Amino acid sequence: MPQLTKEVSVIVQQSSFSASLLYVRRTVAIALVFITLISSACLAPANAETVGTLTARVVLRKSTDQDSTALQTLPDGEKVTVLSVSGNWYKVRYGSFTGYVLKNYVNVSSNSVIANAAKITALGDVPGALYPGDQGSDVKKLQKALKILGYYTLSIDGSYGDGTKTAVALYQQVEKLEADGIAGKATITAIFGSCANKADITVSGRDAEVTVSSSSSTASSSSSSSSSSSDKTVSSIAEIGSAPSASKEGDSGTKVVKLQQALELLGYYSGTIDGNYGAKTITAVKRFQKNRNMKEDGIAGASTLRVLFGTKASSTKTSSSSSSSSTKKTYTTEVLDWFADNVSSVIPKKATFTIKDVRTGKTFTAKRWSGINHLDAEPATAEDTAIMKKIFGGAWSWNRRPILILYRGHVYAASMNGMPHGTTTIDNNNFDGHFCIHFKNSKTHGTEKVDAGHQQAVTVASKASW
């Protein structure tokens, strides 16, 4: 009898193991199929070329210009190999000829790399960095791009909710990016760059080779300084280096590149960083000037650059009158609109900054944790918590206090309360939770309304200096 019991036990164990193994195999198979499906949305299969069918009798031209040399007349219904996309043109191969034909007359597979590239190109300018909680046309553009690539299946509502965050994280996993669900600059560049927005996508041999270039309708654009915006995108004002000299419409060169980089960083400019002071740059400068209550002339003069770059811009013209012998550094207090100025990109998550209480003059260091409608922060250390508590009279409270925030050479007017609540991420700082920092027109998380007390404190802070 004991022997029979032992044999039955072995059979049960083997059966259980087989069932578990079958479950694991099925799970892995499903995962592989899923990954294969979503990967195929943007990656070209090995040894595959995009084939297009002509929908009319067309002329194959030497360059992307209807007046350029005609290489061959191609019959309606003929097959061509689509090599790349450039604006309204496809670069194609037809027999021994390689040239350009208008995209309108070529029908390509709806899920091919080239087709996806064209669809994403048609969405227009590349959006800036986007975060969960953001809303608007840029979020719609992100959702549309993710839908084209097969990652997003919900409605295009312009609201960066859980569905959009999941789609972004899924895309990031496949593209081997940090899967945090935040559409930062690297993710935006991957989505709108690798799938051909303002780019040429060349499918050659086994690999889909992506070459990002400054998209122009002329093939002869070999300008010295115009590479893609992703090449010249920066993550901070400090990265730009010294402030540029004054510039205006029609100017070009490094000074305009720096201007565009700074405006892009603050969410005002969304065009290509090409160093040309054109219509988009003028519009961006005017928007910046309007939000800073400055004269809206679209000219990046000394005063505009000083507000944009801080005191580094005080020497935009080489004047000997600006004495750099002064040892005390001064700052211009800036008022940022939480939504219009996209403060989340100016002071990103995990950023460490210094807070100065306007009324007492006391300073302490804090670190941003999160925040959608306003900024959520924590004192960096136990010593910082002790200073903050003294600012609030030795007891935590919800009282609003005007503050200045010093971050990367800029000082911003803001308001904080002093009550630990919610999530905490820093150990051993003696602060059980986080506290709220409000900027102009920011909202509370609970009521989603602009808080009058915080706004009054921001106004007070705007009149103070560091």
pLDDT, tens digit (0-9, with 9 covering 90-100), for 116-157: 766 787 787 778 778 888 888 888 999 998 988 888 889 999
Q: Is residue 394 part of a domain?
A: yes
Cα 10 to Cα 2: distance, rounded to the nearest angstrom: 12
What value does the mean pLDDT of the chain take? 76
pLDDT score of 466 more than 80: yes
Which of 171, 196, 221 represents a domain boundary (last residue)?
196
pLDDT score of 201 more than 60: no
Name the more confident of 443 and 312: 443
Q: Kindly state the helix (H) or strand (E) to which residue 383 belongs, with its residue range.
A: helix 382-391
Q: Residue 35 corresponds to which amino acid?
A: I
Q: How far is CA 34 from CA 20, 37, 117, 176, 413, in A?
A: 21, 5, 22, 16, 48
pLDDT score of 374 more than 90: yes
What mean pLDDT is predicted for residues 206-230?
A: 32
| pLDDT for position 7 | 52
Q: Is residue 457 part of a domain?
A: yes
What mean pLDDT is predicted for residues 419-437?
A: 93
CATH of the domain at 284: 1.10.101.10
Is the Cα torsion angle 416, 417, 421, 422 positive or negative in sign?
A: negative
pTM over 0.75? The answer is: no
Q: How far is CA 329 from CA 310, 410, 452, in A?
A: 11, 11, 33
pLDDT range class, residue 3, cuts 50, 70, 90: low
Do 299 and 342 fall into the same domain? Answer: no
Do 255 and 139 fall into the same domain? Answer: no
| pLDDT for position 104 | 79
Do 420 and 449 fall into the same domain? Answer: yes
Cα 435 to Cα 420: distance, rounded to the nearest angstrom: 5
pLDDT range class, residue 110, cuts 50, 70, 90: low
Is the Cα torsion angle 405, 411, 412, 415 positive or negative in sign?
A: positive
Q: If you search the block for the tokens 């210094």, which residue do you land on?
A: 354
| pLDDT for position 318 | 35
Which of 196, 219, 254 represents a domain boundary (last residue)?
196
For residue 223, which of 284, 278, 280, 273 has the smallest C-alpha distance?
Answer: 273
What mean pLDDT is predicted for residues 338-346?
A: 90
What mean pLDDT is predicted for residues 296-305?
A: 90
- Give the total number of structural domains in the chain: 3
pLDDT range class, residue 442, cuts 50, 70, 90: very high
Q: Which domain holds residue 307?
A: 231-315
pLDDT digits (tens, 9 = 90+) for 27-75: 544 444 444 444 333 333 333 457 888 888 888 999 888 778 888 888 8
What mean pLDDT is predicted for residues 171-177?
A: 82
Q: Is residue 217 part of a domain?
A: no
| pLDDT for position 47 | 35
Q: Is residue 129 part of a domain?
A: yes
Q: Is residue 141 part of a domain?
A: yes
Do 311 and 347 fall into the same domain? Answer: no
Q: Is residue 4 part of a domain?
A: no
Q: Is residue 386 part of a domain?
A: yes
pLDDT score of 416 more than 90: yes
Do 375 and 450 fall into the same domain? Answer: yes
Do 174 and 142 fall into the same domain? Answer: yes
pLDDT digits (tens, 9 = 90+) for 80-106: 888 877 767 888 888 888 999 888 788
Do 348 and 425 fall into the same domain? Answer: yes
For residue 220, which of 62, 58, 59 has the smallest C-alpha distance?
Answer: 62
Do 356 and 439 fall into the same domain? Answer: yes
Do 275 and 373 fall into the same domain? Answer: no
Name the more confident of 218 and 463: 463
Do 349 and 236 fall into the same domain? Answer: no
Q: Kindly state the helix (H) or strand (E) to which residue 98 belongs, with its residue range.
A: strand 97-102
Cα 147 to Cα 372: distance, rounded to the nearest angstrom: 24
Question: How many degrees, rounded to 5, is the angle at CA 345 between CA 243 and CA 424?
Answer: 130
Do 180 and 235 fall into the same domain? Answer: no
Do 356 and 275 fall into the same domain? Answer: no
pLDDT range class, residue 13, cuts 50, 70, 90: low
pLDDT score of 115 more than 80: no
Q: Is residue 22 part of a domain?
A: no
